[in-house]
Amino acid sequence: MTGSNSMPEKQKKDRSPSFPFVSLRDAIKRLLAFDQTFGRHPAPGVKVGLAWGMKDKSSQAYQILAALKAFGLVGYDGSGPNLKASLTDDARTYLRAQQETIKADVLKRVALRPAQFSKFWQVWGADRPPDPVCLDQLVLQHAFTESAAHNFLKVYDDTIAYAGLTSSDKVTAEDVGDDDEPFEFQVGDLVNWESGGQIQWKVPRRVVAIDEKDGEFFYKVEGAGEFAGQIGWIPVEQAIKQTGGPSQGMSFAPPPADPSSSLPTGMRKAVFPVSDGDVTLVFPISISKDGLEELGNYLNIFLKKEQTKKNDN
């Protein structure tokens, strides 16, 4: 990516085809934890990470949720910040069934529900070609990146083995899902920023995280060209797909600021709500153990002095 005014001669495909972030083996473990946490109640997408020991609204939690959706183990109601996830019939059958044969049937059925898994199962079958052959097919013929191709084979192989699929297992049209995701864009995608009816960037920016502030969701994006190395945030509803440069004369805005602060680079803010209002502490992200101890000593001195002033008054 550059900040020049020239139109790129050719834009490479920036995203591999979508496939589950984890294998079916791990998805089932996540499903068990999901059921233990939320039971029969729909789970708000912003809270789903609670089931897996992750903080609210983490991008990893959304990727796991998307994997469960791809395998047909959860269904979505709504999208973005209003998304809710519920167990599907296949998930409930697997969780409640007492007979292992019933559970095994569910595993075979959902293993090939991700569109890319069913696609390559029909190509490779139970005895897939060696890795170099498959990797060339994925990268040269199906637009996977190198890293995504290696990860795909790892997740695919573990899923096939865990489900116990054999050459007699076939794919039917109704078994194939659509690999939906809870947000239109995911980490690694290139996006542009449309605000006030205008496209703001001459070249797209890569999404590096998804976060939330005061109930509003944002994409965290890398800077480009003269703004390389900077990080900005844009509301998810203002992100658009763009793989080519815009027309000449279009405005070129820097990445918008972090919605939670306008802190100098390398600094972090902690806010402590007290009865009289919020107390804000700004400190270096890379603060050391010794630095924290010194800070604690200074804060103790400060608090004692302030307490003394209040007592004297």
**Which tops the pLDDT comparison, 313 or 152?**
152
Count of all residues that appear for the chain in the document = 313
In the three-class reduction of DSSP (H, G, I as helix; E, B as strand; rest coil), residue 67 is classed as: helix
- 215-231 residue pLDDT tens: 456 778 887 665 666 67
Regarding whether 278 and 256 lie in a shared domain, the answer is no
Phi then psi for 129, rounded to 5 degrees? -65, 170
CB atoms within 10 A of CB 50: 17
Regarding whether 239 and 119 lie in a shared domain, the answer is no
Regarding whether 192 and 165 lie in a shared domain, the answer is no
Regarding whether 31 and 142 lie in a shared domain, the answer is yes
Separation CA 4–CA 161 (nearest Å) = 49
**Which tops the pLDDT comparison, 145 or 72?**
72
Separation CA 197–CA 171 (nearest Å) = 45
pLDDT beyond 50 at 200:
yes
Q: What percentage of residues in the chain have a pLDDT greater than 90?
A: 30
Structure tokens given for 6: 């020239």
Separation CA 27–CA 25 (nearest Å) = 5
Regarding whether 275 and 220 lie in a shared domain, the answer is no
Regarding whether 254 and 151 lie in a shared domain, the answer is no
Regarding whether 144 and 92 lie in a shared domain, the answer is yes
pLDDT beyond 90 at 82:
no
CB atoms within 10 A of CB 249: 6
For residue 283, what is the enclosing H or E element?
Answer: strand 277-284
- 84-119 residue pLDDT tens: 999 999 999 999 999 999 999 999 999 999 989 998
Is 54 a member of any domain?
Answer: yes
- CB-based contacts of 57: which residues, under 8 Å, 6+ apart? 46, 49, 210, 211, 212, 217
CATH code of the domain containing 157: 1.10.10
- CB-based contacts of 290: which residues, under 8 Å, 6+ apart? none
Is 118 a member of any domain?
Answer: yes
From 239, 231, 237, 238, select the one nearest 256 (Cα to Cα).
Answer: 231
Regarding whether 51 and 110 lie in a shared domain, the answer is yes
Structure tokens given for 146: 């190198």
Separation CA 135–CA 145 (nearest Å) = 10
From 201, 234, 242, select the one nearest 217 (Cα to Cα).
Answer: 234
Q: How many domains does the chain have?
A: 3
Is 17 a member of any domain?
Answer: no
From 96, 120, 45, 98, select the one nearest 75 (Cα to Cα).
Answer: 45
Please report the pLDDT score of residue 8 as a whole number: 31
- 205-215 residue pLDDT tens: 888 777 656 54
Regarding whether 290 and 243 lie in a shared domain, the answer is no
What DSSP letter does each residue of 224-273 carry, written as one string?
-GGGTT-EEEEEGGGEEE--S---TT---PPPPPPTT--PPTTEEEEEEE
Tally of CA atoms within 13 A in the half-sphere of 27 that contains its CB: 33
Please report the pLDDT score of residue 14 as a whole number: 47
Residue 213 is part of which domain span?
1-8+184-260
Regarding whether 159 and 103 lie in a shared domain, the answer is yes
Choose one of 175, 204, 223: the last residue of a domain: 175
Please report the pLDDT score of residue 291 as a whole number: 81
